[in-house]
Chain A
Amino acid sequence: MTAGVTVLAWVVTAAVAMSAVTPLILIYLWIRDWKKEQLW
């Protein structure tokens, strides 16, 4: 059973999109913690 180009493109695009959002999530959480003085 061979993966078609659509499967390859879908898996990789989803992973890249998810990873691209991660720094934004972390920065958002950092700002939120910093405002609440809960960084550490």
Chain B
Amino acid sequence: MNSVNSAILDANVGWLILAIFSVIWVWLGWFWGRKARHLDDYMLAGRRVGMALGTATAMATWVTSNTTMVAPQLAFQLGIWGMLGYSLGSVGLMLFAPLARRIRQLLPFGYTSGDFIRLRYGTWTWRVFLVISLCYAIGWLISLGMAGGVLIHALTGIDYRLGMTVILTICVLYTLLGGLRAVIGTDFIQTLLIIGGVVVLAILTINKIGFDAMHESLLAERPELLNLLMPAAVMFLFNNLLFGIGEIFHSNVWWSRAFAFRKDVGFRAYLLAGIIWVPIPIVAGFIALAAPALGLNVPAADMVGPMVAAELLGFGGAVLVFIIVFSALASSLDSLLAATSDLVLQDIYRGHLNPGASDEKLRIMAKRIVIILGIITWLICLPRITTLASLLHYLGAFVASTIWPVVAGLYWRRTTATGALLAMLLGIGSGLLAYHFIGFYVAALVSAVVSMSVVLINTAMSHSWFDWEQLRQSREGSPS
């Protein structure tokens, strides 16, 4: 990313926006967190989150900086299918809707996805799942921290390390002060900012250029972007779909929300969040198609969105893009911090190190873990590792291997611990082989297919009969 040439906003304006939003988020974190008396209040927002906040948090968390920055890039590289393919990311949210209801029914007092795997499949499958889940969560956390620094630098010219430190510190501070309640509350406001921002940008782009001029320029200069049968784009479509489902089904970010929502809210909130997420990549991505009509020379494809916005709308457009990107980054980073710290607290600290810890001790540890995670992320982000993107592609094989053990574990009594363990291990192994010998775009697909086959064979041949009542043990030893 050639950030020096692509900065669309003065650094002082960037600092001013960062300062204003930092004060707002941290104050809201303190405000919402001040009444948290029990661990459930801090970790799961009291398990009483309603439809409005539930829908907004599911949606905002899934709108990452990738959605706002990579959607225009994909539209610029893969055309119409790039935008539509990215929209398929919403399928994961929609498919999780029935799972969220089932999770709340089976584990009314659960805390993490690890709780379910431990109670359903036993210790060893739980440990393998924890390794997968924690590797992915920390990898995603680091990639978001780095994306924060890179994007702030690219948009304003502010030094990478300073930008990364600021966004990480803000998110750690308000998550620390308010726990999941602060994360969900700020997500609502961030959702309105993100959607309002991209809609304004899209409407102004349509008004200033128009579909006819845009289409004419695309036909003349980049006709491949209008090709409805572009093979690369169609491949991307399926890989994105499976990767998204794997990410959502295994990650504690989504499980912790299923536990936090009111009993009757999970299904409706995830379904609605998925539906209203569908058009976001199209709206955010389409403005990139205006680049040929504007005669823009785009030095780096990932900066096409901000460049078009700044060219068309001047200072106001640049400010709007910065606020959208900042909100998208914060809404995902805070969710990941909270969910990962829950996983470390419940499954590592309480599950392995101190099973008898009191409510008070766990609340103190929850805050310490948020700080430790923040520091670890900051330290790893500091050198700006450029190979991180390929690491995340690598992890596609890991997360896709968990889809079937999770789904089968929730619905089928006959799936066994051995079957789930083998499905994950063989799925990962075959996915990694496919990654090396075929390409990154099939890693998740191969892993999911192998894992599915193992789970289906195991379930068909098994004579065991799991008692769902065992899952309600998550209540036992519940700290509050």
Asked if B206 and A12 sit within 8 Å, CB to CB, the answer is: yes
Q: How far is the CA of A22 from the CA of B273 in the complex (A)?
A: 10
Q: How far is the CA of A30 from the CA of B184 in the complex (A)?
A: 13
From A9, A14, A40, give the contact of B49 (CB < 8 A). Answer: A40
Could you tell me the distance in whole angstroms from the C-beta of A11 to the nearest C-beta in chain B?
7
Could you tell me the distance in whole angstroms from the C-beta of B28 to the nearest C-beta in chain A?
14
A: interface residue count bin: 20 to 34
Q: Contact string, A1-24, partner B, CB cutoff 8 A, digits 1/0?
A: 111110111011111101110110
Chain A interface main SS type: helix
Q: How far is the CA of A12 from the CA of B184 in the complex (A)?
A: 30
From A1, A14, A16, A32, give the contact of B199 (CB < 8 A). Answer: A16
Q: Which of B127-135, B211-219, B238-246, B298-306 contacts A (4 or more CB under 8 A)?
A: B211-219
Name the residue on A nearest B276 (C-beta): A22
Interface residues of B, CB < 8 Å — how many?
Answer: 45
In the complex, B146 has a CB within 8 A of chain A: no
In the complex, B279 has a CB within 8 A of chain A: yes
Q: How far is the CA of A12 from the CA of B212 in the complex (A)?
A: 13
Asked if B195 and A22 sit within 8 Å, CB to CB, the answer is: yes
Q: How far is the CA of A8 from the CA of B240 in the complex (A)?
A: 22
Name the residue on B nearest A6 (C-beta): B211
From B80, B192, B203, B223, give the contact of A11 (CB < 8 A). Answer: B80
Between-chain CB contacts (< 8 Å), 14 pairs: A1-B227, A2-B227, A3-B228, A5-B211, A11-B84, A12-B202, A12-B283, A14-B279, A16-B283, A18-B279, A19-B195, A22-B276, A29-B50, A39-B53
Q: What 7 A-B pairs have minimum CB-CB distances, sorted nearest first? A: A15-B279, A29-B52, A15-B282, A33-B50, A30-B52, A5-B215, A9-B211
A interface residues with partner B (beta carbon < 8 Å): 1-5, 7-9, 11-16, 18-20, 22-23, 25-27, 29-30, 32-33, 36, 38-40
